[in-house]
Amino acid sequence: MIKITLPDNSVREFAEPVSGLEIAKSISNRLAKDVLSISVDGEVWDLSRKIDHDANIKLHTWNDREGKETFWHSSAHLMAEAIEAYYPGTKFGIGPTVDTGFYYDIDLPEGKVLSEKDLQKIEQKMLELARQKNDIVRSDISKEDALAKFTEKNDELKQELISELEDGTITLYNQGNFTDLCRGPHLPNTGYIKAIKLTAIAGAYWRGDEKNKMLTRVYGVTFPKAKMLEEYLVMVEEAKKRDHRKIGKEMQLFTFSESVGQGLPLWLPKGAQLREQLENFLKKVQKKYGYEQVMTPHIGDVKLYKTSGHYEKYGKDSFQPITTPAEGEEYLLKPMNCPHHCEIYKAWPRSYKDLPVRMAEFGTVYRYEMSGELHGLTRVRGFTQDDAHLFCRPDQVKEEFKKVIDIIFIIFKALSFENYTAQISLRDPNKPEKYIGSPENWDKAEQAIIEACEEKGLNTVTELGEAAFYGPKLDFMIKDALGRSWQLGTVQVDYNLPERFELEYIGSDDNRHRPVMIHRAPFGSMERFVAVLIEHTAGKFPLWLTPEQVVVLPISEKYNDYAKKVSNLLNISDIRTVVDDRNEKIGRKIRDNELKRIPYLLIVGEKEAESDSIAVRRQGEGDKGTMAIQEFAEFINKEVRDQLSGLYN
């Protein structure tokens, strides 16, 4: 009998090899209709593949990341089939999934060009092919036969990919008249795909290398129900309004300059103020939890990152070493802060009484991202992490881990992130080569995270293969106001870097011991966090955080001096206030400053100047009446106190 263990640890037995779809049918017909793929011992499979051994499985539907990825990967093949039908001789590069769908890089026949107007006919062809419900069939062939097949097809892109694969069995997938090189998994047939939208056309160098040929990249998204596409299109329109690049420009928060370089944001005064508020907030929380601030340089000797393992894992994604001409030393723009913090820990001997050591830094790091992958603040080449590293005894790991979770919850509460999932990211047991360190240390680290989450009462999901190369982690997946999911906040347990850096402390037994390291970044990247926050709030930040809390609007130049007096008095009361003394009509000033998302607009004219008062407007709420200046200052400060109430206690 083949024993199949489900996620709830229940076991089903089958007398012969069984497919994922058959397992789903044995549970319920409804599940069989909804299931899209299956994980077998952590590896995602087609539903049609037979399981011939005892295995742990998880069935994936549209609600699971793996389900969507299977659906969209099959959709990329369907799009390729439709394109080939219209443009015979097209060569196909890669067609992966992305967060919001899929794309395929293609090389059209000479003289052929795709335009936006061509997308609709390709969509219609895709729907026509989907309705045929053609089975998507996996087949195994040799590398030699695969090369012969795509040589005959005259597709040198696929030939290049195949030539780099190891000798042995290679998998192809066929549907209708289209065959593609692919690892899978895929849907059982094309009929699952009910709604299609091709969203964009872009240029992309083959394999991201500017020396290679420019290909055409076609983006798309598909759904199992037409209503889902309708809802998606509404969300896309709302997302355009909330785009952090658009709002950031309107609010004058940040900019980019080709002269400075791609992917290197420049923070304008208001954006710098926003970041400073976030940093000061976290520093205050960290101080309560016993953290000490440190500072490290922007570069480091290459040997440092070879010791940590970062150079081996991420060297290709780093800016290449800087060599000193005189002495031949090699330095790297810092890709990570943790190796530097390990060296700070080593700066003097440590006793078990000194632990835990908690050090924090808003440290800027650098990663080389291909220009085509850059996107506003969410994907940049230089970014600042709210990084912290805790060095503790093994008996302190779980308690320190739980305290980090407390800090993350404080941040979520302050910024009204209420919809989140805690994801325990573990190693892939089938790919030990991806990770450094001993299995024993990995077991201890994973167990510490699992127990800490249980004791905190977190509702968690577990993902195999999502761990960092040096240790397991807990990631917080946030849903924003539009229901989009973002990874914000991460905590990692690491037994391996202390080994690599030979970190020690003297225990109560007077012997030398290794500390355990906890990596922690509640914001993650400050750049990406600000982008998510802008789109979540549509730029309407909580009052305590917003760069400009109040703007004073004189109704004419005669009252500019009184407006400045009001501004000075409010700034003395720690209320961030500016004056709009442009020679514009008051209606125009109100509209312009509401576009800047300033929470409070104060109108001043003759009546207000004579009575030392202000007419108050609240963003999105209109007139709030007239107040004395000091009364308003107390009102604002109370609102800020109420927003932060209890967070520091």
pLDDT value, residue 649: 60
Do residues 605 and 556 both lie within one domain? yes
Q: What does residue 363 show for φ and ψ, rounded to 5 degrees? A: -105, 130
Active site residue 519: yes
Which listed residue (46, 105, 387, 480) is catalytic? 387
Section 273-284 average pLDDT:
95
Element (H, E) at 145: helix 143-152
Q: Is residue 246 part of a domain?
A: no
Distance CA 262, CA 374 (A): 8
Burial of 467 (0-12, 13-18, 19+ CB in 10 A): buried
pLDDT tens by residue, 466-519: 888 878 889 998 988 888 888 888 898 888 899 999 999 999 999 999 999 999
Do residues 168 and 183 both lie within one domain? yes
240, pLDDT greater than 70 = yes
pLDDT value, residue 326: 78
CB atoms within 10 A of CB 292: 13
Q: Is residue 149 part of a domain?
A: yes
142, pLDDT greater than 70 = yes
pLDDT tens by residue, 10-33: 999 999 999 999 999 999 999 999
Q: Is residue 240 part of a domain?
A: no
Beta pairing partners, 189 = 135
Do residues 307 and 352 both lie within one domain? no
Active site residue 65: no
pLDDT value, residue 47: 95
Q: Is residue 350 part of a domain?
A: yes
Cβ pair 559, 612 in contact under 8 A: no
Question: Tell me, what CATH number does 228's domain have?
Answer: 3.30.980.10
561, pLDDT greater than 90 = yes
Residue 267 one-letter amino acid: W
Task: Please name which of 518, 467, 522 lies closest in space to residue 497, comparing C-alpha atoms.
Answer: 518
pLDDT tens by residue, 414-429: 998 888 888 998 888 7
Q: What's the mean pLDDT when you consider all of the chain?
A: 92
Q: Is residue 93 part of a domain?
A: yes
Do residues 326 and 341 both lie within one domain? no
648, pLDDT greater than 70 = no
Section 388-410 average pLDDT:
93
- What confidence category does residue 403 fall into, taking pLDDT thresholds of 50, 70 and 90? very high
Which listed residue (159, 385, 492, 549) is catalytic? 385
372, pLDDT greater than 80 = no
Which listed residue (367, 528, 589, 597) is catalytic? 367
316, pLDDT greater than 80 = no
Look at residues 12, 42, 61 and tell me which one is the last residue of a structural domain: 61
Question: Tell me, what CATH number does 57's domain have?
Answer: 3.10.20.30
Residue 593 one-letter amino acid: N
279, pLDDT greater than 90 = yes
Section 125-134 average pLDDT:
96
What is the percentage of the chain residues whose pLDDT exceeds 70? 100
Q: Full-prediction pTM beyond 0.75? A: yes
Q: Cβ contacts of residue 617 below 8 Å, gap of 6+? A: 590, 600, 601, 602, 603, 623, 624
Question: Tell me, what CATH number does 460's domain have?
Answer: 3.30.930.10
Is 519 annotated to bind a ligand? Reply is yes
Q: What is the side-by-side strand order in the sheet with 169-175? A: 137-142, 169-175, 178-181
Cβ pair 308, 497 in contact under 8 A: yes
3-state secondary structure of 492: strand
Which listed residue (244, 275, 340, 473) is catalytic? 473
Is 186 annotated to bind a ligand? Reply is no
What is the percentage of the chain residues whose pLDDT exceeds 90? 71
Which listed residue (217, 350, 519, 597) is catalytic? 519
Do residues 388 and 448 both lie within one domain? yes
Do residues 167 and 71 both lie within one domain? yes
What CA–CA distances, in Å, run from 621 to 10, 558, 609, 634? 54, 28, 24, 20
Cβ pair 580, 574 in contact under 8 A: no
Do residues 146 and 173 both lie within one domain? yes
Do residues 433 and 522 both lie within one domain? yes
| CA atoms 209, 214, 215, 220: torsion sign | positive
Look at residues 38, 61, 84 and tell me which one is the last residue of a structural domain: 61
Do residues 364 and 496 both lie within one domain? yes
- Count of domains in the chain? 5
Q: Is residue 247 part of a domain?
A: no
Active site residue 298: no
Q: Is residue 544 part of a domain?
A: no
pLDDT tens by residue, 143-194: 999 999 999 888 999 999 999 888 888 999 999 989 999 988 999 999 999 9
Is 338 annotated to bind a ligand? Reply is yes
Residue 356: asked if its preceding bond is cis (omega within 30°), the reply is yes
pLDDT tens by residue, 574-625: 999 999 999 999 999 999 999 899 999 999 999 999 999 999 999 888 899 9
Which listed residue (389, 398, 520, 617) is catalytic? 389
Which listed residue (125, 334, 338, 340) is catalytic? 338
Q: Is residue 111 part of a domain?
A: yes
278, pLDDT greater than 70 = yes
Do residues 592 and 504 both lie within one domain? no
282, pLDDT greater than 90 = yes
Q: What does residue 282 show for φ and ψ, rounded to 5 degrees? A: -70, -40
Do residues 98 and 13 both lie within one domain? no
Write down how long the chain is: 649
Active site residue 3: no
Look at residues 46, 61, 76 and tell me which one is the last residue of a structural domain: 61
Cβ pair 504, 357 in contact under 8 A: no
pLDDT tens by residue, 64-106: 989 999 999 999 999 999 999 999 999 999 999 988 899 999 9
- What confidence category does residue 461 fall into, taking pLDDT thresholds of 50, 70 and 90? confident
Active site residue 341: no
Active site residue 367: yes
Burial of 61 (0-12, 13-18, 19+ CB in 10 A): middle
Domain range enclosing 159: 66-234
pLDDT value, residue 218: 95
Do residues 307 and 409 both lie within one domain? no
Residue 464 one-letter amino acid: L
Active site residue 342: no
